[in-house]
Amino acid sequence: MREYREAMSVLGQASPIFLTQALIPHLHGTTIIDVGCGSGLPVSIIRSCWSSTASWRLERKFPERIVGLDFSATAITYASKFGAYDEVRLANAGELPATSAEFETALSMENLEHLWIDELGGAIEELIRVSSREVLITTPWPWEVINKQWLIAELKAAVLDTEVMSKTEYDSLVGYVHKSSVSPEQMREIGFKVTPINSAQGSGVLYSGEKSDLISPGGMDFIGLKKPDLSPPLDGDWRPQYIEVLNHSLSLAKYLPKAPLKSLSLRKMQSLKSKVMSSRS
């Protein structure tokens, strides 16, 4: 099995650390549901940096309850093993096993872009439904959703790979592929505040909203891929279906907005800064 397939099957997914660091000061709730939790690394960081949260500043000194949810059985296995959560649940983002307003904070880090377009609106509605205080979401900027370089390399590797891919592994790998995008304009319309995240490690966007300010996305037109209606392969190998998803994700880039010139310049400056720091170390 090639290295990437093995890593995804064993560890699941984790959001970049710099995104978690940017989100922490905005977190007010002490009961949290983390949707699309992956292996749980961000929540481990949140727990260890709790004194930097808005909750701590309000003298709410400890998280009372943090629950992780993921559609991937692999992610749930390792989120349970690593111990970041008080409880983990296997669930789809569009149908959360939680009562309305059960958690103060509904958290979704680098998850929306992994959903099929027909799941996106429902997933946002569910985050709003299960929160009583706030919803915090991080995603890539729309023009950064599709990583062409990674997709081309992964597509080539998948075509050359001859090892049979099980349905469980297919679900895990396809879950990693970016398939949808929300825009800052759409999220503002729903009621979210838009906060750019920029660091030497990368960039992204934080959408934060108080429950009372948020409305249903309704029939909002997002950009993305529809979930394919797949039949189980007769030979049990889901690799061709995975290759098809990679191809569709690659083609999605032409439908996404281009980066503003200011953002392009900022990314070039960050890249230059990283190279300078690296040369000095």
Largest Cα–Cα separation, the chain: 58
Is 27 in contact with 55 (CB distance < 8 Å)? yes
For residue range 44-79, what is the model confidence (pLDDT) as tens digits?
A: 999 999 999 999 999 888 999 999 999 888 788 888
| DSSP β-bridge partners for residue 194 | 207
At residue 52's C-alpha, the angle toward residues 37 and 182, to 5°, is 45
**What percent helix, strand, coil does the chain show, rounded to 5?**
50, 20, 35
Average pLDDT in the chain: 89
Q: Which of 97-106, 179-188, 225-234 is the least confident region?
A: 225-234
For the chain, which residues make up each domain, given as ranges? 3-280
Phi first, then psi, for residue 205 (nearest 5°) are: -140, 140
- pLDDT computed for residue 56 by the predictor: 95
- pLDDT computed for residue 268 by the predictor: 53
Q: Return the CATH superfamily for domain 3-280.
A: Vaccinia Virus protein VP39 (3.40.50.150)
Q: Which residue has the tokens 């699941």?
A: 12
Is 77 in contact with 168 (CB distance < 8 Å)? no
What is 58-98 written as a DSSP string?
Answer: TT--S--EEEEEES-HHHHHHHHHHT--SEEEE-BTTB-SS
Other CB atoms within a 10 A radius of the CB of residue 13 amount to 21
Across the chain, where does the E strand assignment appear? 31-35, 65-70, 87-90, 103-109, 131-139, 180-181, 193-199, 202-210, 223-224
pTM of structure: 0.88
For residue range 20-32, what is the model confidence (pLDDT) as tens digits?
A: 999 999 999 999 9
- pLDDT computed for residue 27 by the predictor: 97
- What is the C-alpha separation between 231 and 12, in angstroms, rounded? 25
- Report residue 17 CA to chain centroid gap: 13
